Amino acid sequence: GSAFKVYCSKVFLVLAVTISCISQGLCQAVLWQRRLCAQGWAGPQGHSLDSGLRFHYVAAGERGKPLMLLLHGFPEFWYSWRHQLREFKSEYRVVALDLRGYGETDAPPHKENYKLDCLIADIKDILESLGYNKCVLIGHDWGGMIAWLVAICYPEMVTKLIVVNFPHPSVFTEYILRHPSQLIKSGYYFFFQMPWFPEFMFTLNDFKVSKMNWADTGDPCVKGVQLITIHLEFHSSEPNFSGMLFPKSCLPLQHHEVIMPTLLLWGERDAFMEVEMAEITRIYVKNHFRLTILSEASHWLQQDQPDIVNKLIWTFLKEETKRKRE
């Protein structure tokens, strides 16, 4: 009836926004990778893990400094952390990954390759391959989900945990089952479970969705010949949504508590995650927990308000260092 039509219209609206974000993000990444050397960052790098997969990342800051590991959200890649790469390189070796199936990291084709235990093991292996045994771990959205789980499963590897716009996994699981509104907001995840349809929709009508976004990227550099070059670079490879397969777990967790200092940042205008989940998260953190909700910020918090986010992260890191000395 009418309720079903409303539900469908909301789901398809979210799908349209998601595809728009994907195409615009891909466009911006091509531009940004050309600017890496000018920013003083290490260029794109990679490591092959025991799993046989090669992981792509971008790094900033000197080797040997404490590691800050950044995990992007859905449906992004390393580029979403560009502001933090620049900001924290003075005191950290900052590494922004392309997670399994995203960006230039390998994308195995089967759903079983995207179980949560595989994604968690990736982070452990990446840490070791970089020559570290611990890090400050920061995750956004589904990267936040992975960050929470790494902190729970491998607490000795995480000195401090910072999550942007994603609640503790147990909070999310319980909340989404009890609140249909959150299930609707998360509905586009299920769209990417289909075996070939997402790629088909993205390339429909000669990449019309992509071209519409490239026509107005918000970047004054994207004009004329440069825009055509971006088209050619993007069209040279097939769109791959493997990394957007909804993660399935075969864990299950032995415990749910987080034992390291934790900062949770949340944009109150998040169209995908309901803010009520943020406060509930507090009960699972058995150490210092700081929650900051920004009333004017969206889901893409670290990109929308990078100066504020960076300042909050610095404050948290320095507070914890001072607390540890005392």
User: Rounded mean pLDDT of 11-22?
Assistant: 44
Among 264, 210, 205, 266, residue whose Cα is nearest residue 237: 210
Question: Which residues fall within 8 angstroms of residue 75, CB to CB, at 6 or more apart?
Answer: 18, 21, 22, 25, 102, 192, 241, 243, 244
pLDDT higher at 55 or 110 = 55
User: Rounded mean pLDDT of 29-45?
Assistant: 42
SS3 5: helix
pLDDT at residue 33 tops 60: no
pTM above threshold 0.85: no
Phi first, then psi: what are they for 298, rounded to 5°? Answer: -100, -165
Among 56, 44, 79, residue whose Cα is nearest residue 219: 79
Question: Do strands 289-294 and 262-267 pair parallel, antiparallel, or not at all (unpaired)?
Answer: parallel
**Token code pair at residue 151:** 């902190």
C-alpha neighbours within 13 Å on the C-beta side of residue 155? 12
Please tell me the distance from the alpha carbon of residue 224 to that of residue 234, in angstroms, as a whole number: 16
Q: What is the per-residue pLDDT across 51-65, written as a single tens digit (0 to 9) for each?
A: 788 999 999 999 999
The architecture in CATH of the region 42-179+255-325 reads: 3-Layer(aba) Sandwich (3.40)
With bands split at pLDDT 50, 70 and 90, how would you rate the model's confidence at 274? confident
Please tell me whether the peptide bond between 75 and the residue prior to it is cis, using omega within 30 degrees of 0. Answer: yes
Helix (H) or strand (E) segment spanning residue 3: helix 2-34
pLDDT at residue 122 tops 80: yes
At residue 126, the pLDDT reads 94
Residue-range domain boundaries for the chain: 1-34+193-240, 42-179+255-325
Least confident of 37-46, 197-206, 209-218: 209-218
Q: Enumerate the β-bridge partners of residue 59.
A: 95
Among 166, 164, 186, residue whose Cα is nearest residue 305: 164
With DSSP H G I counted as helix, E B as strand and the rest as coil, what are the percentages for the chain, rounded to 5? Answer: 50, 15, 35
Average pLDDT, the chain: 75
Please tell me the distance from the alpha carbon of residue 209 to that of residue 219, in angstroms, as a whole number: 18
With bands split at pLDDT 50, 70 and 90, how would you rate the model's confidence at 111? confident
